[in-house]
Structure 1
């Protein structure tokens, strides 16, 4: 279609250098390739993405749907972040064998630990299918009808597009629905834990240092892909063999210097770079403060219990880290958006946008976009806030309520699809809850429940009437004293007999009754209006994106992140977060000792690492007698890039992406090249820990170590 051709020309036009961006690897020819080479890259676009021969993309996997990992040996050895493998490390841990505290290293392949349900996905090829997906859409009148037709077309193309029997087709939308791309994928299902440092290395600094520079965290863990004897995906079997990759990343021992080219390759989760000012104002002034307050309350309760009880610390370690991650990110994001004056910059852009509409005679097409945005964001405000309260309190941060909601969904299955469908879903749901209750502590959850249900009743709009006068302390005590949802045995007891008996028992349970009231209120009084207005906002956003591409032909427009394979490139570079303050781009083990607090769960240091530091026993991994730990660069990253490889100018592994600096966490909404930096573990520190600390040199022997600078 004509617009798509225009779009592809615009986004590959060479305009501004080093301004961020998350680019589709199959579309690097032109502006991106030239710019990357001007920054020092020695590769071609084909070295990064090629369908006909092995290329860098064949070493990159979507790790368990949420992170990124890379293949670093010819035997399918995977490297990702410690926090990406945290749940699996925890699941193998007990009080007697605490791999979170002590680390884990398989001495041979037979000792590697299976992880049921874990998967990694490779991208085989990438195809633009925009014309086919948008076929017959323009003639439809309503946004709902358009979205229905688009989904029908997506389903048809995904089903019919050529692929091998073990592969899948997945279509994703780009540029707010102005472009659609199909990914042919391969998913491997036998992934085993190979090694992980103790949390005192892999999570050094914990939540205090999260999103902060300077950083001294060895945030890595290692897994291995196993395949059938034909090297194709296979369910777990003791007969499976290590996967033989099409490509694996050589590992550079030469380190980095300020100004070096860096590329991060991975699966960034979600960005919103092209929102109007009205949306950013809502995020900064309404939504983020509410979510921060909810999580702050939950975290304080959990932390209080975890500091006093080792068993609870193990149970809640992964959950706490997950909740704290975005709590701190939202705080930094709001501060960054205010400091960088993002709202005013958006308004300034919108003033220029309106001016260009008039200049180019486009009022009929685009003239009402901003006014309609303002109207719709005002209309949706309390519904969006109520939705966030429901998600944060009921679905994410109160475990009894989240279990109750799953059971509520079972009741809806019974009502809409009948008893057979209910029976099938019931078995799966009850079985899945067994693992959930392994890491559930009723005393912790009761205190979280009391805090959050009070916040919900006092601050959320559109709440059920009885919540306005509820005694939250008494309600909490009554539920946790009598509800069957406080234990796995209790939940199972509710599902004895047939469906009628199940729901009779469920609807007498005080915990379930409360969840049901909250859910019905959400689906009856919040979701319908939110969904209707949000659909209109989505249509406006699509047209706004089209208008920006049309009216700003010299602009630099990269597609927002959507968990698809992307590359981002930049250079190793320090930054100045405040007046008279400058951060160097590299940290060393001396900084670990400066932060060291014996016995502290965030800043303790293992005794063996202390000895290695004292003796400066760094092997071949040091530089000028010092052991590098982390470094920063100007790559534009987000959630999902955790575990992404940092790649040098020649295509070698130099580091492992794991975080961003706090001053730049607003980069999901507004990228500022002056202060936005991604944080990476130096690969030499990873090798040092494996070799000198863990005595796992057999893993080093698998890798291809290179000296590209020499």
Structure 2
């Protein structure tokens, strides 16, 4: 999500961060919606029929975003930045769809988005007892293997038809619960309408995670099956109206990850190691991309989508560093953990899992850098690594494979590997060179794993040789390797496949060490901590986000910033006052040429108190009647702390209104057929 602080007010809301959710806090699973709590807060709550209809309308996009069906013919509403990679993949030097936008005038012009899949939850089933029974008294690596085998068996039994369904066992509460999510999947997803990127990105990085905003961050896709649009009788009703201050709103989507239930030692590791490292690395990568893109207009176009992603991630990581360094937040989280430990003292069944977690984290500190830097990062190397690993894993029984390679996971992996997604060589070489150089910097040139990774070559020389010599950019070649299986992989002389084969052996050793010393022990510890939490606070706590379907409730409301109330909305006409003529505050072309036609009083973007996080991008904002009135695309700067705790005083969701999107469809980027479809005509 293009989401995300000041933390001075966090202390008022953190007295129970690990106990009961307060106010509008909570990313709730659909099988545990807190109807009584909402009724106490708002005087009403949706009934089961409402929840069932909304759940059936919600869509998860495998590119990492959320969405919703908004017509009976498979039309999907999401964010523009959620389709940016599709637009980039379909573009060339003659057609820059990311910059200029895309409008399909007919169904025949709706174009396939490579690698994209749309998924709708059809059922959620608790399988905790089954998974825990399979693990039994096993510990460390043995426990991880037993859990992985149980998950694979449950998923395989739940989805025998892998052509149209997908099953996924989801770990909740760090290991306290396991639930089987079953999805109806649609592997043919096509772009229908998207505005020019300057309309979505007006204000650029300075406005990212901020408000007021003037961003038309909305787009439409369509799901197809057997060459025809999917019939979706259960969809949200389009309501192109302005939000009302104080009205109740729901956000339904797939928040990626939160870390609100981490132990103190896990938070300390994030504070001391991962968050600062992420900030440093992405800051340098951003600089390298900037420098390379400045060399030519073509490079500026080709690198833009990568740069946007790096800038967004960097802002998130910087926000997390600030949050973790805030003494008020740290003190409150520590106090909450101490309170839970106090309530659990003397419970023999619980023991002291926090001490177990401390030991696991201490062990992980010695493994983390090797695990992180032994895996080069680039699109082409990603193809190589997954092809090599899949070839080996597919020779093994389903229950003995590594996570991500079970029978239930293979169809999506195959699609993502074999779809015709273009790779830009210079961008891939830049990324590969960067991550190889960082590996040498952080592990040291004399480290055995660096010698395995680089041999006698420099990061620059190795990256250049690999990218110049590989054929993995060709989907036909990738398909040949996939279909040829282990024999084809073992016989391949492609330089990236050769490197991936060599690194895969060592990576498996590292995985086994991490599972034995960290993953197994920390999951066992957090399972017991979850039991302690349930015993102390009942079912009043939601699980951390896991990129699975959740619902949050809140209301349209501003917040106080430096003594002044921030309004709940912006108007479309306000973009003209905010525009400076210079990037990133230059007017989008369509806004400039259609100024006389545009209704300046239409609500553009608005804010709510809904509790969301990255992954919620594209989530519908739904009113009490079940109508969609917006699409969430960001959070304000205060929401960055939401990874660790929610503060209802100033944490806000930022959404583009359906009224603004309709004005875009009517005036700015005309699509009369699409507009008629939204209104059921």
CA offset at residue 352 of structure 1? 1.8
Structure showing greater relative contact order (alpha-carbon pairs closer than 8 Å, 6 or more residues apart): 2
Residues in 1 aligned to 2:161 and 2:373: alpha-carbon distance in whole angstroms: 44
Structure 1 segments unaligned to the other structure (5+ residues): 1-10, 227-233, 418-424, 619-624
CA deviation after TM superposition for structure 1 residue 545, in Å: 1.4
C-alpha distance in 1, partners of 2:579/2:85? 26
For the pair 1:634 / 2:609, whether they are aligned, the reply is yes
What is the alpha-carbon distance in structure 2 between the residues aligned to residue 46 and residue 111 of structure 1?
39
Q: Which residue of 1 aligns with 2:407?
A: none
Helix, strand or coil for the counterpart of 2:174? helix
Match among 47, 50, 60 for residue 49 of structure 2: 47
Asked if 1:617 corresponds to 2:615, the answer is: no
Give distance in 1, aligned partners of 2:416 and 2:29: 40
Normalized against structure 1, the TM-score is what?
0.80
Whole-Å separation in 2 of the counterparts to 1:73 and 1:593: 33
Which stretch shows the higher mean deviation, 369-378 or 267-276? Answer: 369-378
Partner of 2:260: 273
**How has the CA–CA distance of structure 1 residues 453 and 273 changed in structure 2, closer, same or farther, with 3 Å as cutoff?**
same
Distance 1:65 1:529 in 2: 27
CA deviations over 1:273-301 (Å, ceiling 9, x no partner)? 21112111211221111122222222211
Instruction: Confirm whether residue 588 of structure 1 aligns to residue 568 of structure 2.
Output: no
Q: 1:217 to 1:342 in 2, by over 3 A?
A: same
Asked whether 1:203 is paired with 2:194, we answer no
2:255 equivalent to 1:255: no
TM-aligned CA distance change 1:583 to 1:115, over 3 Å:
same
Map 1:387-426 to 2 at 5 A: 387-391=371-375, 394-395=376-377, 398=378, 401-402=381-382, 405=385, 409=389
C-alpha distance in 2, partners of 1:204/1:472? 46
Q: How many residues align?
A: 645
Match of 1:538 among 494, 500, 523: 523
Q: Deviations over 1:92-143 (max 9, x none)?
A: 21221211111111122232223354321222233334344444654x3435
SS in 1 for 2:527: helix
Superposed displacement of residue 523, structure 1: 4.3
| Candidates 572, 594, 598, aligned match of 2:581 | 598
Corresponding residue SS for 2:367: helix
Matching of residue 78 in structure 1 with residue 83 in structure 2: no
2:678 equivalent to 1:697: no
Shift of 1:194: 1.0
2:403 aligned partner: none
Equivalent residues of 1:264, 1:568 under 8 A apart: yes
Cα distance change on mapping 1:675 and 1:501 into 2, 3 Å: closer
- Which of 184, 190, 197 is equivalent to 2:188? 190
Displacement of 1:409: 4.3
User: Which of the numbers 296, 301, 316 marks the counterpart of 2:288?
Assistant: 301
Aligned to 1:421: none
Deviations 1:513-572 (A, max 9, x none): 77677665554467624653221111111111111221334x831022222221011112
State how far apart, in whole Å, the 2-side matches of 1:162 and 1:493 are: 30
Change (3 A) 1:304 1:541: same
**2:654 aligned with 1:679, yes or no?**
yes
Which residue pairs with 1:142 in the alignment? 139
Distance 2:110 2:453 in 1: 52
Could you tell me how far apart the structure 1 residues matched to 2:115 and 2:242 are?
36
1:370 CA displacement: 2.2
Aligned positions of 1:427-506 closer than 5 A: 432=417, 435=420, 438-442=422-426, 444-460=427-443, 464-465=447-448, 467=450, 475-479=458-462, 482-483=465-466, 485-486=468-469, 488=471, 506=493
The two structures, once aligned, show a CA RMSD in angstroms of: 4.0
Q: How many angstroms does 1:653 deviate by?
A: 0.9
Q: CA deviation at 1:586?
A: 1.4
Task: Give the TM-score, by structure 2 length.
Answer: 0.83
Aligned to 1:320: 307
Distance change in 2, residues 1:202/1:521 (3 Å): same
Q: 1:556 aligns with which of 521, 540, 564?
A: 540
Specify whether residues 88 and 81 from structure 1 end up closer, same or farther in structure 2 by C-alpha distance, changes over 3 A only: same
Task: Give a deviation string over 1:573-615, Cα, whole Å, max 9, x none.
Answer: 22245x4354322123354334434363x333233312444x3
Aligned-partner Cα distance in 2 for 1:641–1:22:
10
Is the CA contact 2:140–2:518 (under 8 Å) kept in the aligned structure 1? no
For 2:645, the equivalent position in structure 1 comes to: 670
* Cα separation, 2, equivalents of 1:490 and 1:609: 38
The 1:653–1:408 alpha-carbon spacing in structure 2 relative to 1, beyond 3 Å, is closer
1:382 aligns with 2:366: yes
Contact kept, 8 Å, 2:27 with 2:611, in 1: the verdict is: yes
Match of 1:100 among 94, 98, 101: 98
Q: Distance in 1 between matches of 2:464 and 2:34?
A: 64
Mapped to 1, the partners of 2:189 and 2:451 lie a distance apart of: 49
Query: CA deviation digits over 1:625-672, x for unaligned, max 9?
Result: 523221111111122211110001211111101112222213122222
1:23 CA drift (Å):
1.1
